[in-house]
Amino acid sequence: MTEATQLASAAGDRDPRVGLKAVSALRRLLEQLEAVQVRNARTAGWSWQEIAAELGVTRQAVHKKHGGR
């Protein structure tokens, strides 16, 4: 089982301490994955608008979050 699968399973735990800890870890993992994919898209020549459309956010939001990297 992968780390993400284990965390997703733990996020549904009946113990709030276990579930919340897993949710927090998943949030960090998703942020890292988003950054990697945004870099991949920019390297492939995607515009900020194209990336934003796939993420379901505005161009300004994605540029503000990832533009300085």
pLDDT digit string, tens, across residues 36-60: 999 999 999 999 999 999 999 999 9
14 Cβ contact partners less than 8 Å away, ≥ 6 residues apart: none
Burial class (CB in 10 A: 0-12, 13-18, 19+), 40: exposed
Supply the pLDDT for residue 68. 86
Q: Considering the entire predicted model, what is its pTM?
A: 0.85
Contacts of 43 (CB under 8 A, 6+ apart): none
Q: Residue 58 belongs to what domain range?
A: 3-66
Q: DSSP letter at 2?
A: -
pLDDT, tens digit, 9 for 90 and up, residues 7-41:
999 999 999 999 999 999 999 999 999 999 999 99
Tell me how many domains the chain contains. Answer: 1
Q: Are 29 and 4 in contact (CB under 8 A)?
A: yes
pLDDT beyond 90 at 69: no
Give the pLDDT of residue 1.
61
